[in-house]
């Protein structure tokens, strides 16, 4: 039996994280795998932390991963990467956004936004991909494709046929949004 693997998507409410993890699940299902995902929608609609655990394999029990057991961490916000590093396996991959979204304490000038986040992450993990997802999404023609950029980045870490991703993506968006999302996906897939 193949072991269960885990991906953790994290960021700020309103960034499209839950949508991305839904699509990710569809991809695993299309690949004939068992998959479970679990997320916490925060108290308010926006602004708070959002996480989504996706676990896949031949047979998945827990929808939640334990610490030190995540294969890929995808952080949609720069400093929030640090919040979840203890979930990632030593050999795991960290995919992170360069975008900063200031929490209230930083806005008020009461706390500092951490500096050198990328360097810090690199010091602890070998496989780190930092992406300016907003720029790539804009280049694809739609700022709302940020989450698809990350799906592209995830795809390059997984051994699944590209056609599978393309098929699921095509089914996931209304026709007028498909081309922008495809482009976003490709740019994420190519990101190093």
**Interface residues toward other proteins, by CB under 8 A:** 4, 12-13, 22, 25, 29, 34-49, 60-69, 79-80, 82-83, 85-86, 90, 102-109, 111-114, 117, 120-121, 123-124
| Cβ distance to other proteins smaller for residue 25 or 149 | 25
CB of 180 to other proteins, least distance (A): 18
- Tell me which DSSP letter residue 112 carries: P
- What are the tokens at 30? 């299309």
CB of 104 to other proteins, least distance (A): 6
CB of 123 to other proteins, least distance (A): 7
CB of 34 to other proteins, least distance (A): 6
CB of 142 to other proteins, least distance (A): 14
Contact 9, 52 (CB under 8 A): yes
Helix (H) or strand (E) holding 105: helix 104-107
d(CA 146, CA 165): 16
| Cβ distance to other proteins smaller for residue 49 or 160 | 49
| Cβ distance to other proteins smaller for residue 102 or 190 | 102
Which positions ≥6 away from 82 have C-beta within 8 Å? 114, 117, 120, 121
CB of 190 to other proteins, least distance (A): 26
| Cβ distance to other proteins smaller for residue 50 or 182 | 50
Which positions ≥6 away from 73 have C-beta within 8 Å? 7, 8, 10, 81, 84, 85, 87, 88, 92, 93, 94, 95, 96
- Tell me which DSSP letter residue 143 carries: G
| Cβ distance to other proteins smaller for residue 103 or 166 | 103
| Cβ distance to other proteins smaller for residue 87 or 185 | 87
Overall size of the chain counted in residues: 192
Contact 158, 6 (CB under 8 A): no
């Amino acid at each position: 039996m193949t072991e269960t693997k885990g991906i953790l998507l994290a960021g700020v409410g309103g960034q499209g994280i839950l949508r991305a993890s839904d699509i990710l699940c569809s991809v695993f299902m299309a690949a004939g795998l068992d998959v479970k995902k679990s997320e916490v929608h925060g108290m308010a609609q926006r602004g708070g932390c959002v996480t989504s655990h996706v676990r896949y394999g031949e047979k998945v029990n827990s929808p939640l991963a334990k610490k030190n057991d995540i294969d890929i961490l995808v952080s949609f916000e720069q400093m929030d990467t640090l919040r979840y590093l203890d979930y990632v396996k030593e050999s795991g991959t960290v995919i992170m956004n360069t975008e900063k979204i200031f929490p209230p304490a930083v806005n008020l000038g009461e706390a500092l936004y951490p500096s050198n986040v990328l360097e810090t992450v690199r010091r602890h993990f070998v496989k780190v991909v930092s992406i300016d997802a907003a720029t790539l999404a804009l280049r694809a023609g739609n700022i709302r494709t940020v989450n698809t950029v990350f799906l592209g980045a995830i795809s390059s870490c997984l051994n699944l046929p590209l056609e599978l991703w393309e098929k699921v993506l095509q089914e996931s968006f209304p026709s007028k949004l498909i081309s922008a999302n495809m482009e976003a996906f490709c740019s994420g897939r190519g990101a190093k």
